[in-house]
A and B are shown apart, each in its own frame.
Chain A
Amino acid sequence: MLAINSVNTYRIPQKFEYYKPRDLREALELLNSIEDAKIVAGGTDLVVDLKYRRVVPKALIDVSELSELRFIRTDGNYIEIGSAVTMQELVESEIVKKSLPLLAEVVESIGSWQIRNLATIGGNICNASPAADSVPPLLTYDAELELASLNGPRTVSIEKFFTGPKKTVLERGEILRSIKIPLSQQKFGWSYVKIGRTSFDLAKVSVAVLLRAEDGIVSEVRIALGSVAPTPVRARTTEKSITGMSLERAAVRASELIVSEIAPIDDVRSTAWYRSRVAKILVRDAIWKAYERFLQVGDKNEDQV
């Protein structure tokens, strides 16, 4: 009857059906035939929602063990990651370590070992939290999302995927199959700066940067931020204006411009005032850190993004 009495149990206080399909096809068929079905992968976001009755699905379709969603591979042009790959598998992947050092660094900081062994990258994306840690790096990588449905696949750029907190362009019957990251011939310096209330927290503000420079001049830069808008954002305007600037000027200018690209709010973790104030600083820090990395990496990683 009353909200506080309908949650907070040791059990999940609601009934639903549970399916464990054998392959992606069966998963899609189930998803198509059951109204109000929800995909579950690691469940680290979904089970919390179920306990608080924020979602009330008729059925759960468990994709966590579908081999079609559990791979990391590369063909020289792309690295492709199946949506049900866990964070810990990404941490331990040689391909990720070698070619996607930014993503490698980020996933290692997510949750705890226990959480990383359950949490999937697909879940992190599809949960569509503005604080999802894997998303700012994927935004800077210009990642593409491969969606599967009975009507056939489609590809959506990650920048177009989110429409609001907990909202995406996923349509009924669609599953995120994989994430494709184009490999660049150029090497980038990278950085991810995140602040939370403790070291085990969702971000108050996070910034991911990929950067190349020539003779102290920014030749290419990509900036994405988390927890400062209804969705994670790519700071295109800032990127454009600081390209061609000296690092010193670029860092200062980015710090000025970034406020116009974000729309932070007050919540339990922080305040809008603090978030914009600190986003300015973190963008500057992240640019410098990425530049330092750029100078360090040299020509070691040929096929690194």
Chain B
Amino acid sequence: MVFEFIGKSLPRHDGFAKASGLIEFTFDIEIPGMLYGRILKSPYAFARVGRIDSSLAEAMGAVVLTPEDVPNVLFNPRLVSIEEDTFKDWRILTKSPRYVGEPIAAVAAASEDLAQRALEALRVEFEEVYEPLLDPFKAMSPSARPIHDRVQRGRQWIEVRNNVAAELKYSEGDLETEEKKSSVIVERKFHASRRYHAQLEPKGAVCKLEADGSLIVWTTTQTIHNTKILISQVYGIPMNKIEVKKIPIGGGFGSSIHTNLVTLIAVGLCLKSRKPVKLVLTREEDMVHDHTSYEFYMKVRAGATREGIITFGELENIVDIGAHQIQAYPLLGASLGWFVSLYKWKALRYHGKAVYTNKVPSCAIRGYGAPEITWAVETVIDEIAEELRIDPLDFRLINYRGKGEIFWGQGPTVRSIIRSDGVPELTSKCSELIGWKNRGNPKEKTGRYRRGIGVGRGFHTSGAGGPLSGAVIDYTGAIIKVNEDGTIDYITALQDHGGGTLDAHAKIIAEELKIPPSKIRIVWSSSSTTVYDVCTHASRGVFAGGEAARRAASEVKKKILEYAARILDAVSPEALRVQYDKELNDAVIFVEGAPEKRISLSEVARVAWQRNWGSISASVSYRATVAPPSFTVYFVEVEVDTETGIIKPVRVVAGADIGTVISPELAAGQIHGGFAIGWSWAVGDEVVYLEDGVPAHRLSLSDYKLPTIMDLPDDESFKVVFASTYEPYGPFGAKGLGEAASNPVIAAVANAIYNAIGIRFYEIPITPEKVLKALKGGD
């Protein structure tokens, strides 16, 4: 297909503003009379609070918010499952802190300094301090103290037993028979540590009451509508009285997939003080006391026949979720979904458990379990292939789930058929580029510096849509309005985390209407001025949001053609053609073979206005009926210094099947970023807790290290290959990318390390300390 705008490199609509610092984030908002908030965080990982004395703080002129001042309701900050599957165990402020940093109270005052002094003037009595449960296996023992006695599932109260927050079991096929058919069976245990999202912007919120009593909220969020709904549910405010404004966010990586607790606390302070309030976490608060990734303990068991056909797969998945649920139950389902969709297991068994511990609550991090599951499975697949003496690439190609197979987008209730699949193409192109055949055998490698090449194959879903409604909410919407001069206002609730999602939408609209993207303004809208979108998550921004935008553009186009037909005196809109005119920099509508019958889109808009024909606009609500996988195949070459254990990335060849590539440079950027984050998970840092439940990395980013550009391969050594696929359900053939870009990275890196030194690591991060121990023994 030949496109006018899609696939072209065009400047980002917010590029200049971001590069120059002109763009405003939540932190930059200043409102006259505004108060500054600070949160009183629990110093104990597991305790019970008695009296809170706020008299000193109030005497200083601060407004103090205690658990008594906020609604006594349980909630789940993440609204993505249907109500019956939503587990609620959070309170806005608590008297039973369950992790170090859990908010107990908050203050707001006329300056940050005063707020800080007022915070320090609060007196909190702790009635009990319990020994924290930091290990999920200890937490599950029947004698362990319950972190929660009971929580709500939807409207139902449920007892929590053995600190298991949620559980999911699933099986398919005849496992025993398949086991018998297997000539090789491999069983391995894996541990993926807790990691910090390190999104660029720490979380924050600004709230303000309008004269009519409605509440205006600006906040770091991946979803303005769910933020509105949650504030409404928790505070009992009607939804039309809450307006959540969309404002740029400095990345998310899953950290603002839910409504952040800061937002709810800021609302409380604003309602109590009746003044505008700003509450922004510092980097330290954000990373030490607000969120981390999930921690996985996995056991994979899988088999194959001598001919290299996979027989069965088993996954035990114990997830340490910290002190509260954000999306633990859906994670158990999604993990199963990733597992099922990786290979054609003839029989499978799954047991997932989400376990409470006295640690900072975990939330989704880029990939939502897929990087961890993919790492575990791709390791076992490599090991089986090695035992069978089959090239690991061939083994994958024989057994992976591709075109025509069923794909589970986000768990058991999100299923659809795979219709586009670039795996064979990518595997052959990328393996050639990296020199797969010459990777050598680790047993034959000698010398201090040893190189190895590894592969990781994976995918991510494009949204959580599907033909049946299922347990996951997923729909979106778009509004397009043609102005009286033919320019466009594009109004969507969908948030752009910084990846350029909305630039892709603008190109899609431009392509449909044949007008340049520069004529389309992406409006900074709000929950009041847009129709519902669930969230920018699950790599659905382009696939679902882009298709909604295309549909809205298509409706608008229909009206434009109707009006043009009237003006040009054509028999019907069907007689008209539309194309982009470079000179006019506009779409022109014309009758084929009649050169005088020609009008620009802006002229149609002007005439419609002058003749009182009414606005040209469309509002679309759209639910995708499929959730196609975007496949990625990573080949990574590493170099291991066997004397220091230091691992360096030497070369990367990353193949991505994302259907039509809408913005090649931004898509390549997603892959570079995806590798960087995956690399940091594989060999970088982790969040560690001391015995009392205090995170060991107390000093923020000076102690929790992220790779810099100097630690990653340069452009020359990093090749990105896009497959030439077309997804029939995507806008102009496009699929998602954000998470697929990082999902197989850990797997590829771990397999490369094995190819270099012949040692497999079953725990990430693979630090130099661990590598050296493994190589030399701990003397």
Contacts and interface: CB of A to CB of B under 8 A. Distances in A.
A117 interface: no
Contact of A198 (B113, B696, B705): B705
Contacts of B282: 8-10
Contacts of A7: 284
Interface in B117-137: 119-124
Nearest to A11: B112
Given A4-B289, A13-B116, A199 B644 contact: no
Given A9-B112, A198-B708, A273-B778, A268 B697 contact: yes
Interface string A169-198: 000000000000000000000000001111
Given A10-B282, A199-B711, A5 B43 contact: yes
B285 interface: yes
Classify chain A: how many residues form its interface, as a range. Answer: 20 to 34
Most buried by A among B43, B121, B776: B43
Given A1-B123, A9-B112, A274-B772, A268 B703 contact: yes
A269 B120 CA distance: 31
Contacts of A147: none
A48 B711 CA distance: 25
For the residues of A in contact with B, the DSSP-based class is loop
A302 B280 CA distance: 57
A198 to B, nearest CB: 5
Given A268-B703, A273-B778, A6 B772 contact: no
A217 interface: no
A52 B646 CA distance: 32
B40 A10 contact: no
A9 B710 contact: no
B83 interface: no
Contacts of B124: 1-2
Interface in B759-779: 768-769, 772-773, 776, 778
Given A4-B101, A9-B116, A270-B769, A278 B710 contact: no
Contact of A8 (B122, B285, B696, B708): B285
Given A4-B101, A5-B41, A11 B113 contact: yes
B474 interface: no
A198 B703 CA distance: 11
B369 to A, nearest CB: 26
B602 to A, nearest CB: 47
Contact of A200 (B101, B285, B646, B708): B708
A125 to B, nearest CB: 20
B143 interface: no
Contact of A5 (B112, B119, B697, B773): B119
A11 B116 contact: yes
Contacts of B123: 1
A208 to B, nearest CB: 17
A205 to B, nearest CB: 9
B213 interface: no
A271 interface: yes
B496 interface: no
Nearest to A7: B284
Interface string A261-305: 000000011110110011001100000000000000000000000
A201 interface: yes
A9 B40 CA distance: 12
A269 B685 CA distance: 10
A196 B773 CA distance: 18
A13 to B, nearest CB: 5
Contacts of A274: 645, 768-769, 772
A5 B778 CA distance: 40
Contacts of A195: 644, 646, 768
Nearest to A285: B643
B289 A197 contact: no
A6 B120 contact: yes
B43 A3 contact: yes
Contacts of B776: 277
B565 to A, nearest CB: 60
Contacts of B707: 198
B100 interface: yes
Contact of B705 (A13, A197, A271): A197
Interface string B282-304: 10110001000000000000000
A186 to B, nearest CB: 31
B156 interface: no
B38 interface: yes
B706 interface: yes
Nearest to B280: A10
Contacts of A200: 705, 708, 710
Contacts of B122: 1
Nearest to B286: A8
Nearest to A270: B769
Contacts of A5: 40-41, 43, 119-120
B440 to A, nearest CB: 25
Contact of B100 (A4, A199, A271, A282): A4
B702 interface: yes
A195 B776 CA distance: 19
A271 B769 contact: yes
Contacts of B280: 10
A8 B119 CA distance: 12
Contacts of A278: 643-644, 772
B170 to A, nearest CB: 39
Interface in A5-26: 5-11, 13
B41 A4 contact: yes
A196 B710 CA distance: 13
Nearest to A275: B769
Contacts of A197: 684-685, 705
A1 B118 CA distance: 10
A48 B699 CA distance: 9
A2 B43 contact: yes
Closest 3 CB pairs of A and B: A199-B710, A197-B705, A8-B284
Given A3-B43, A52-B699, A195-B768, 4 more contacts: A1-B123, A200-B710, A268-B696, A274-B645
22 contacts: A1-B120, A1-B121, A1-B122, A1-B123, A1-B124, A2-B43, A4-B289, A6-B120, A8-B284, A9-B38, A195-B646, A196-B705, A197-B705, A198-B684, A198-B706, A199-B710, A268-B699, A269-B703, A271-B769, A273-B778, A278-B772, A281-B644
